[in-house]
Amino acid sequence: MKVKVDELVCEANAVCMGLAPEVFDVDDDDQLHILLPEPPLELQDRVRHAVRSCPKAALSIEE
């Protein structure tokens, strides 16, 4: 699994960070950073949930 963000669509709502803070971080400048672009197996269900929960559909997963 590889997680990607469309930076032109992302509004840094931080929903993903709330669901998987080990993988997603929003900095002080409201920029989303993917800390683990290829998350370990034990985080993948939470990452999928975070991607589905993005209010702007700015996140995607490559399997």
pLDDT (0 to 100) of residue 62: 97
What is the tens place of the pLDDT at every residue in 31-55? 999 999 999 999 999 999 999 999 9
Contact 49, 40 (CB under 8 A): no
Q: Which amino acid is at 32?
A: L
At the top level of CATH, which class does the domain 2-62 belong to? alpha beta
Domain ranges (residues) in the chain: 2-62
What is the tens place of the pLDDT at every residue in 5-30? 999 999 999 999 999 999 999 999 99
pLDDT (0 to 100) of residue 25: 98
pLDDT (0 to 100) of residue 39: 98
Q: Which amino acid is at 15?
A: V
